Amino acid sequence: MSRPRVEVCFTPNLYPLHIEDEYEIVVAIDVLRATSAICAAFEHGVSKIIPVSTLDEAIEYRDNGYIVAAERKGQIVSGFDLGNSPYSYMDPKYKGKTIVLTTTNGTRAINTAKHVNDLIIGSLVNLDAVCKYLSDLNKSVLLLGSGWKNKFCLEDTICAGAIAENLLKTGNFHSENDSSIAAKYLYLSASENYFGFLKASSHRRRLRDLNLNEDIKYCLTPNQTNVVPIREKNYLIKA
Ligand code: 3SL
């Protein structure tokens, strides 16, 4: 039997080129900060997250009484309850609740992969749990970086490279694309010191300028949770 593939797609606009290869599962990755915040939310008891791409959809949910989180330009959109800081989802008042979330890139990436049956959420904070989940599943997997407005992002690529390298090391997966080789080598260069490696990266600078250093630290610290958020219908839950 042939081994399943693991490949890396750098940004959502490249996704249509990759799905011709018919992957069975997609991992949406937005290390800074959406998928890290989603993991933090489930780790702290949030029961469902509904990812939406646009502010209009978010407003519609808000008008129907939902708790809605909205981030644009790294900040909470005025008129919304929450933004995209992982720490804000740790508040016990959100335990057992459903939260609607829209972010600049992360929720768009999740919704870009609408037509694949299985989608999970990956980040550095749940790295080992995601690798184990995918390794046990043994299906072909596409690692989808959120990027920044469809531009390449180092942190998402490094995380995708870490997942790819872990799966390839088992000997049960193979990859063919140069994007996967590049992601793997970026990960190997960064893995000793994510903070140092990403120091000059565009998104880290963007968040640092907003005084979000604590968020950056949280998001770049691997394996803080074992949760693997999965998509069911139009929402995410803990696997
Ligand atoms: O783009 C996104 O989805 C966000 O994670 C961006 S930010 O970290 O909130 O700036």
70 Cα: distance to centroid of ligand 1 (angstroms): 10
Q: Which residues contact 123 (CB under 8 A, 6 or more apart)?
A: 29, 30, 31, 35, 36, 38, 39, 130, 159, 219
Pocket test for ligand 1, best of 102, 103, 152 (most atoms within 8 A of CB): 103
Residue 1 has pLDDT above 90, yes or no: no
169 in a structural domain = yes
Q: Is 113 part of a structural domain of the chain? A: yes
State the Cα–Cα distance between residues 42 and 184, nearest whole angstrom.
28
Q: Is 74 in the pocket of ligand 1 (CB under 6 A)?
A: yes
Pocket flag, ligand 1, residue 34 (CB < 6 Å): yes
Question: Separation of 103 CA from ligand 1 center, angstroms?
Answer: 6
User: Which pLDDT value is given to residue 20?
Assistant: 80
What is the extent of the structural domain holding 38?
A: 6-238
CATH of the domain at 180: 3.90.1560.10
CA nearest to 71, candidates 146, 155, 154: 146
Q: How many domains are contained in the chain?
A: 1
Residue 177, in any domain of the structure: yes
For residue 1, tell me if it sits in a domain: no
pLDDT of residue 22: 85
User: Tens digit of pLDDT for each residue in 190-237?
Assistant: 999 998 999 889 888 888 888 899 999 999 999 999 999 999 999 999
Q: What pLDDT score was predicted for residue 143? A: 98
Domain annotation covers residue 118: yes
Is any atom of ligand 1 closer than 6 Å to the C-beta of 103?
yes
